[in-house]
Amino acid sequence: MRNTLKTVLFLATAALPAAAQDADIGRSHYHTHCATCHGLEGRGDGPMAGVLLIKPTNLTELTAQNAGTFPLERVVMRIDGRDPLVSHGSPMPVFGDFFQGVFDVPIKAPSGQPVLTSRPVVDLIAYLREIQRLE
């Protein structure tokens, strides 16, 4: 029993750096696929923002604009294409298959229910959560 507890604690501790790494990977995905419209800091002021029919969302305010809760399901489905955004000229994301495709990675919604999406979306969500301003 004691060895089992030690093993569980070790695995839980070993998993902690992976979450931070996911946000780092997400930051890279963001800068490659999202910053052109949403800006380097996520404020909706990227160099392409002016040519879009609807100004890009300030991604740093998602939690603040949702009563203090990150709108995980809405953001996941917007990124992976299940909730298309026509202001981008095509369904979101304009990068297509990179974020879409197989929905085989669960991410836990505030309700506790898992939401299935792709690994790149999970990583991107980790980064988006990191840049939230709670003002």
Mean pLDDT, rounded, for 42-70:
92
Q: Structure pTM?
A: 0.77
pLDDT given at position 51: 87
Give the CB-side neighbour count of residue 30, counting CA atoms within 13 A: 26
Quick one: which of 132, 105, 126 has its CA closest to 16?
Answer: 126
Q: What are phi and psi of 131, to 5 degrees?
A: -95, 5
Name the residue with tokens 């695995």: 11
Radius of gyration of the CA atoms of the chain, in A:
17
Quick one: which of 35, 24, 34 has its CA closest to 126?
Answer: 24
At 135, which amino acid appears? E
Taking all residues of the chain, what is their mean pLDDT, rounded to a whole number? 80
pLDDT tens per residue, range 75-123: 998 888 888 766 555 555 566 667 777 788 899 998 899 999 999 999 9
